[in-house]
Amino acid sequence: MTHTPGPWRSQSVTTVNERGTFVYKRIVSPQGDVITSDRGYKGDNADAEANAHLIAAAPELMEAAKEVLQQLDSYVSEGRKGAGLKRFAGWFCVSDLRAAIAKATPQPKETP
């Protein structure tokens, strides 16, 4: 089984009914299909926002992690071990890892 291909994105959906105003976080595919959504909450919920960003970044995090493992496996299979292996971790895939982690980390909202 495979997951829905990324990149995924986080959306906020606001609904109003007789019980009040609720904001739902949902994760959607590039085609707009809903992958998952939360139960909705009233007002500000920083945890739901952070969770949505992390879930949306999952495909990129997976690809970056796979690339790191592939590079490490290749490096080790070539017989390069010891201190060189420690330096190797910084050589490859750093920009992909930084980008995926940045996507998973919600940015503070600007105040007007």
Question: Stretch 23-28: mean pLDDT, rounded?
Answer: 88
Q: With b meaning 16 or more CB within 10 Å and e meaning fewer, what string describes 3-25?
A: eeebebbbeeeeeeeeeeeebbb
pLDDT digits (tens, 9 = 90+) for 35-94: 988 876 666 677 778 888 888 998 888 888 888 767 766 766 666 555 455 555 555 566
Give residue limits of the domains in the chain.
6-55, 57-107
Report cis status (omega within 30 of 0) of the bond before 30.
no
Percent helix / strand / coil, the chain, rounded to 5? 45, 20, 35
